[in-house]
Structure 1
Amino acid sequence: MRILVIDQIGLSLDFIMRCKDCGHEVRAWFAPREDGKRNDIADGFVTKVSDWRAAMGWADLIVLTDNSSLMKALAPYHKKGYPIFGPNAAGAELELNRQKGQDVFKRAGIKVMDSVEFNDYDKAKDYVQRNMLRYVSKPNGDVDKALSYVSKSPRDMVLMLDRWKVENPQNQGFILQQFRAGIEMAVGGWFGPKGWSRHFLENFEFKKLMPGDSGPNTGEQGTVMRYTEKSKLADKLLLPLTAHLHSIDYRGYFDMAAIIDEDGVPWPLEATSRPGWPCRIIQDALHVGDPAQWMLDLLHGEDTLEVLDEIAVGVVISIPDYPFTKYTGRDTTGYPVYGTERLATEDIHLCEVKMGQAPNERDGKIVYEKMPVTAGDYVCIATGTDYSVTGAQMRAKRAIKKIEIPNSPGWRDDIGERLKAQIPELQDMGYADGWKY
């Protein structure tokens, strides 16, 4: 099969390598870096194209990695029926325009939290001060994760609004939702012209940089997941959206995160109408067989995806100054990723990596060899699978020990641990059926 990967964010290398290992011919387009320079991620691993449009007619399957850009440019290709596996503009709006997403959920019969949309920080501050409640703020668009905030009280919500007014005056709008206590859990699925794949992905994200869920929000520092054909959360959050997703001709992965309160009511937080990262990479640890054929089959109305009946734990491995490199300007390229020569498509999944020259030891001497080296600070994902969370966690930790990266690599060593208490609570309410800690 001829596969074109259109990568707006630079995290498709692992998928590319898996496809090539299965004999597929792969070409890839990577969006330029934020400074406008050429993106060197995946150099030496795949044939790159400078113009994705010129390769559209060549491909049997076109895979998109994100919904933050190119949606308008890709719209004519969606309309003409190109084999695109990934989000479209209408699907992206459900995530990037948060109030629009909440309105669609509500019309589908899903209970939603009251939310108010703002474009003015002072008006939002007045709203908080009038009500004196605890709020969660979430921005529209593809923006810095630091603009999402879960307040502890009205006072720190007002503080953050004051700071954002100075630091981010040109905001794209944001919503305030009243805070609800509960357990955060998500469920996603693969959607094609015949509807959902039979496999739903229940998952738990660990968003903070440091163990104990402390430090800055990176979006997703690690994830625990399991496929199931029977999901109470999918019944409540995904299936009601089936008609809407058909109406907008959505194709690809769609995920809903929710807070499940003490009464067992799931309150949707947000939709992810795209592959999540590193979620998408960790999913491949559970997929059986060809990494791409099932995607083309789903576009043709056939559900051929086969998965392991196990739990997967995935852990992000990064190097300094992650997650602030774009602010500090530190050069994070050229550090060797030792130990990945044979492991890159097993339990170590390369991300911001390219082929380069680095010193290695051979027969008691130091020689410079061609090997994987870093092309950014988000280096790779380590995964482990097992029938329990602890077993999968242990395997992921063993995978981390197989590689060596200079420049002080970091990762969280507690991904999955909070589920020890949460899984029994969820199961008492009928959720997380089949999960074992």
Structure 2
Amino acid sequence: MRILAIDVGSNCLDWLMRCQQWGHQVRWYDKPRPDGTDRHAGEGLVPKIRDYDELRRKWLGWADLIYTPDNVSYLEMLEPFRRIGYPIYGCNLAAVEWELDREIGQKVMEECGMRIIPGKTFRDYDSAIAYVKKEGKAFVSKPSGDGERAMSYVANSAADMVYMLGRWNKIDKYRRAAKQDGFILQEKIDGIEMAVGGFFGPDGWSRGWVENWENKKLMNGDLGVNTGEMGTTVRVVRQSKLADEVLKPATEHLKKIGYVGYVDVNCMIPTDGKGPFPLEWTMRDGWPIRHNLTALIEGDPAQWMKDKLDGRDTLHIRMDEVCISVLMALPDFPYSKITNKELCGIPIYGAEDMEHLHFSEVMLGTAPREVNGKVVDLPGPVTAGDYVLIATGTGETITGARRSAYSAIKKVKIPNSPFYRTDIGVGRLKKQLPDLQRMGYAKGLSY
């Protein structure tokens, strides 16, 4: 099969490498960095396309499967091709609104009969500040659109929220983002955070519900700044109470918009037993959760995706097995303001275990390596950015999966202070699991 990936941030290098191992021909277009420079991830590992016009002119028609691992770019360009039957697996224009326009996403949830958190949309901070002062409550702020993720904030009090809104109001790019895309303030709901996802296509949902728990903060104990995600605990199950409540009700809406791909809903589950509050849609693959799923999917990594486009469920995934993923990054992640020149070419040692390791911003390069007691310059994996690789581990229990993932990542050595969290799968999940199971969620999951 001929496979084309149209990426926006070096997400799917690992998947493409595995497709190559299965004998597929692959091509990768990886959107340039914000400063206009090329991304070097994958150089020497998979064939890359550099020219955007050539991508449209030549490679779209070449591919038997076109994979879009994100939903922030190129959807408008791809939509006409999608409508005339090009084999595009991933988010479309209708679905992206569910995720990026918070107001639309909440409306869809309400139409599906879900329990909605009260909220209000704003496009300027002064009005939002006045609203919070009047209500006198703690709120959660979430941006619409794909910009300024720093505007996602969970306040501890009304005063806390007023301060953050005032702070953002002093920063030009935040004011512009608020005016252009808006943001929503929702009441802060106490409860347990848990998500569930699934693969959807013309034939409906694939077998297996992806119950998952993200760790978004940079540091152990959920301290520090928000990142995309530092690691995830995943378990694919045949029956899921949470899927019954927040995924299955969306079936007809998803069919109506012709969606093909992964859908995930993050929820807050209060302990009052009245059901979850869905927080947001994720209408795309998540990272590194996609690496968790790669570790659990059996067989050809791409054929089941092509089959899903054709309305056939051929996904074979290991059920009831726990998978832990752990991100290894370099400074200055998650800010990513250091230049390519400073982050490219750092040698990666001890990364031979490709069953458990998944490359992201990695390329082939020459660096000092030790052979038979001598240091010589040899080709091998080197860094191509600050989001370096992900380790995954599986097991019948969370403890077993953690042992496997951390055993793999501890073998990797990189100069220049690599870091990762050491508490993925424990911490708050361990404390909250008994309450979840008392309410009928996460059945069978154990330590």
Query: Which has the higher mean CA deviation after the structures are superposed, 322-331 or 160-169?
Result: 322-331
Q: Aligned residue for 1:73?
A: 77
The structural deviation recorded for 1:187 is: 0.4
Superimposed CA distance per residue, residues 88-134 of structure 1 (whole angstroms, 9 cap, x where no aligned partner): 01111100001100001101111111110000100000000000001
SS at match of 1:254: strand
Q: Distance in 2 between matches of 1:89 and 1:220?
A: 25
TM-score (norm 1): 0.97
8 Å contact kept, 1:6–1:52: no
Matched, 1:333 2:344: yes
Q: 1:314 aligns with which of 325, 331, 336?
A: 325
Alignment-derived partner of residue 156 in structure 1: 160
Q: CA deviation at 1:329?
A: 8.3
- What does residue 248 of structure 1 align with? 257
Q: 1:32 deviation in Å?
A: 0.7
My pick for the range that moved more, 370-379 or 317-326, is 317-326
Give unmatched runs, 5+ long, in structure 1: none
Alignment of 1:3-152 (within 5 A): 3-49=3-49, 50=51, 51-53=54-56, 54-152=58-156
Superposed CA RMSD in Å reads 1.2
Asked if the contact 1:40/1:354 (under 8 Å) is kept, the reply is yes
Kept after mapping to 2: 8 A contact 1:42/1:352: yes
**What residue identity is the alignment partner of 1:348?**
L
Give the distance between the partners of 2:433 and 2:10, measured in 1 at CA.
33
Q: Which amino acid aligns with 1:2?
A: R
Instruction: Return the offset for 1:82.
Output: 0.9
Divergent runs of 4+, >3 A: 327-330
CA contact (8 A) 2:26 2:47 kept: yes
Deviations 1:236-261 (A, max 9, x none): 00011111111111110010000000
Cα distance between partner residues in 2 of 1:361 and 1:240: 57
**8 Å contact from structure 1 (residues 321, 328) kept in 2:** no
The one-letter amino acid paired with 2:323 is A
Query: Where do 1:37-436 residues align within 5 Å?
Result: 37-49=37-49, 50=51, 51-53=54-56, 54-167=58-171, 168-171=174-177, 172-264=181-273, 265-309=275-319, 310-326=321-337, 331-340=342-351, 342-344=352-354, 346-417=355-426, 418-436=428-446
Distance 1:327 1:28, change over 3 A: closer
Q: In the alignment, residue 45 of structure 2 is paired with which amino acid? A: F
1 CA distance for matches of 2:435 and 2:266?
A: 17
In 2, Cα distance between equivalents of 1:377 and 1:48: 20
d(CA) in 2 for partners of 1:251, 1:277: 18
CA distance in 2, matches of 1:30, 1:419: 35
Aligned residues: 435
Cα distance between partner residues in 2 of 1:155 and 1:39: 42
Equivalent pair of 2:45/2:364 in contact (CA under 8 Å): yes
Give 1:436 shift.
1.3
Paired letter, 1:11: N
Go from structure 1 to structure 2 and tell me whether the alpha carbon gap of 1:90 and 1:206 turns closer, same or farther (over 3 Å shift): same
Kept after mapping to 1: 8 A contact 2:214/2:229: yes
For 1:304 and 1:405, the matched residues in 2 are separated by 39
C-alpha displacement of 1:327:
6.6
What secondary structure, in the 3-state scheme, does the structure 2 residue paired with 1:422 have?
helix
Structure 1 residue 22: deviation in Å? 0.8
Q: Matches of 2:382 and 2:359 in 1, distance apart?
A: 10
Q: Check the 8 A contact 1:4/1:28 in 2, yes or no.
A: yes
**Percent of counterpart pairs with the same letter?**
50
Work out the CA distance in 1 between the residues paired with 2:147 and 2:230: 17
Q: CA deviation at 1:219?
A: 2.4
Secondary structure, counterpart of 2:225 in structure 1: strand
1:16 Cα deviation from its structure 2 partner? 0.7
Give the whole-Å Cα distance in 1 for the aligned partners of 2:402 and 2:383: 25
Q: Distance in 2 between matches of 1:233 and 1:326?
A: 38
Q: Which moved more, 1:129-138 or 1:316-325?
A: 316-325
Give CA-to-partner distance per residue, 1:124-167, whole Å, 9 cap, x none: 00000000001000001112332100000001101110111122
In structure 1, how many angstroms separate the alpha carbons of the residues matched to 2:341 and 2:402?
A: 31
Length-normalised TM-score, structure 2:
0.95
